[in-house]
Structure 1
C-alpha cells in the first residue's frame, strides 16, 4: 500500500514498522492478540510459570511488546517489566492501558534487533510472535544474549504461519465446504485487503519466509550461544480458551498448528 512504502530509503524493516503502526488501532480487537477471558489469562500464567517461575521482582524485558498484553501477564506474576516496541501507536495504547489498570510497567520506543539496553541487565527476555518477523534473527539473538544477565532466560512464543499440516488443510477444506452450503459462516474480516496483502508481502521476505519452525529457531539460538534450549508445544490450554472467540473451524485449526514455546538460557559463566 502506498502509505506503507514511499521513498527510496524505505526498506523491509521500515515496512514492518509501518505495518504494525497501522495495525495498532485494531490490534486488541483480535482474539489471539488481546486476552478475552480469565480462562485464557490463567492458561498464559501457567505457561509462563512453567518456564520462568514466579517473578519475585526480577527484571524482565518484553520485546515487541505491542499494546502490552504479555507485559501485563508478566506484571501479574511479579516481574519488574520493561516493554519496548518500535511502533509508537502501539506504545501509546500500551501506556494508556497500564495507566488505566494502575500498573507500573515501563514502555519505551526501541528496536528488538538493536535494543540499546545495557549489557547483563535482565533476568528474563520474553516475546510473542516476534521471531517470524525478524530480518536478521541471528543478530537479534546475539543482541538478546548480550542484554541478559548470566544465567538469564529467554522465552519465545511463536509459530510457523506459512506451512499447514494435513489435518489443518482438511479443516480448512471442511470449513470452505460448510460455508459454501450455508452450514457455517466465515471469520469476520479484521484487517483491510491492503493490510492483508502487506502482511503476505512482508512474510514472503523475512528470514523465516518458509516458516519459523521451532527446530530451526532453536538451532539458530544454539549457534548464537544460548544453552539449555527446550521446545514446548503444549499450548492446548491456551488454544482451548481462545477457541470460544473463534469460529468452530478456526478453533480446530489453531489447535493443530505448529505453535510453540522455546526456552533458552545464557550460560552462568
Structure 2
C-alpha cells in the first residue's frame, strides 16, 4: 500500500482519540465475568509454564497485559498509539501489577528475536495493512515452540454495528470517528481475503506449525447483550513457531 505511512498516521490518531473511552470499557470488563472468560481462553492456549515471557501486541489500555502479569507472567504490551500506552500504565498502577509497556509499531516491533514464549493479540490484525509481514516478523520473536494466540474478527468484510446500548463502544464515539472507522475498512477491504481462512494461509507461508482455528470463540465470550457485547463473530487462531 503506497499510502502506508499516511494510513498509519490516521489509524494512530484514531486510536489515540479513543484511548480514554477504551480504558473505561476495559475497567468495566474487569468488573464483569468477561475478563475471566478471556483469561480462560488465553491460558488454555499458552505453552506450559508458570512464568512465561509474553508479548501483548496492540495492547490498547493494557487489559490482557495486566491480567497475565497478575498471573505471574513477564509481560510486555506494545501499541502504536501513545495515548493507549498511557492508559495501560494507568491501569497497571491501579491494579498494582508489574507489566511493561512501550509505544511500538505492531508490524515492525523493535525487539530481540526469540524473546517470547507467547504472543497474544486481540482485535488488532484486521487493521494491519501488511499482515503477512507481521505474522512472519512475530514468528521470529517467538522462542522455538512458542505460541501465537490471535483473537480477531473479519471486520473489514462485515456490515454489522454494536447494539444501541448506552455506554457501548459504538455509542460513545463521535460521527467523525465512526466515519474514519468505515474509511479504514474500505481501504483495507481490497487487500484482505475472508478470515480466518486467509490467516491460515499466511501463517503457513510464514512457516508456523500446529495451526488451529476456533470460530466459536465469540459464543463463549459474549453471553450478554450489554455495553461490552461485540456482534462480530470473533475467532481464535493459534499457531506454533
Q: Same fold (TM over 0.5)?
A: yes
Cα root mean square deviation, aligned: 2.7
- The answer on 1:96 being equivalent to 2:90 is yes
* Structure 1 residue 52, shift from structure 2 partner: 1.1
In 2, Cα distance between equivalents of 1:54 and 1:73: 17
The structure 2 residue matched to 1:27, chosen from 4, 22, 28, is 22
TM-score, length of structure 2 as denominator length: 0.87
Distance 1:203 1:265, change over 3 A: same
Q: Deviations over 1:88-134 (max 9, x none)?
A: 11111110111121110000111110001001110000100011000
Partner residue in 1 for 2:55 = 61
Partner residue in 2 for 1:181 = none
Partner residue in 1 for 2:198 = 216
The number of residue pairs the alignment matches comes to 234
Structure 1 stretches of 5 or more lacking a match?
1-7, 176-185
Distance 1:36 1:243, change over 3 A: farther
Partner residue in 2 for 1:265 = 240
Range that drifts further, 228-237 or 9-18: 9-18
Partner residue in 2 for 1:227 = 209
Q: Any residues of structure 2 matched to 1:110-149 within 5 Å, and which?
A: 110-149=104-143
* Structure 1 residue 217, shift from structure 2 partner: 1.1
User: 4+ residue runs of structure 1 moved beyond 6 angstroms?
Assistant: none
Distance 1:72 1:211, change over 3 A: farther
Structure 2 stretches of 5 or more lacking a match?
none
Distance 1:207 1:118, change over 3 A: farther
Larger radius of gyration: 1
Q: Any residues of structure 2 matched to 1:35-74 within 5 Å, and which?
A: 35-52=29-46, 56-74=50-68
In 1, Cα distance between equivalents of 2:49 and 2:103: 24
Distance 1:9 1:111, change over 3 A: closer
Asked whether the 8 Å contact 2:156–2:188 carries over to 1, the reply is no
- The answer on 1:187 being equivalent to 2:165 is yes
Q: Any residues of structure 2 matched to 1:157-196 within 5 Å, and which?
A: 157-164=151-158, 186-188=164-166, 189-196=171-178
Distance 1:209 1:197, change over 3 A: farther
In 2, Cα distance between equivalents of 1:238 and 1:258: 10
Asked whether the 8 Å contact 2:75–2:100 carries over to 1, the reply is yes
The structure 1 residue matched to 2:225, chosen from 243, 257, 261, is 243
Partner residue in 1 for 2:182 = 200
* Structure 1 residue 223, shift from structure 2 partner: 1.0
Instruction: Tell me the secondary structure at the aligned position of residue 29 of structure 1.
Output: helix
In 2, Cα distance between equivalents of 1:226 and 1:99: 36
In 1, Cα distance between equivalents of 2:190 and 2:139: 20
Asked whether the 8 Å contact 2:213–2:235 carries over to 1, the reply is yes
In 2, Cα distance between equivalents of 1:54 and 1:151: 11
Partner residue in 1 for 2:99 = 105
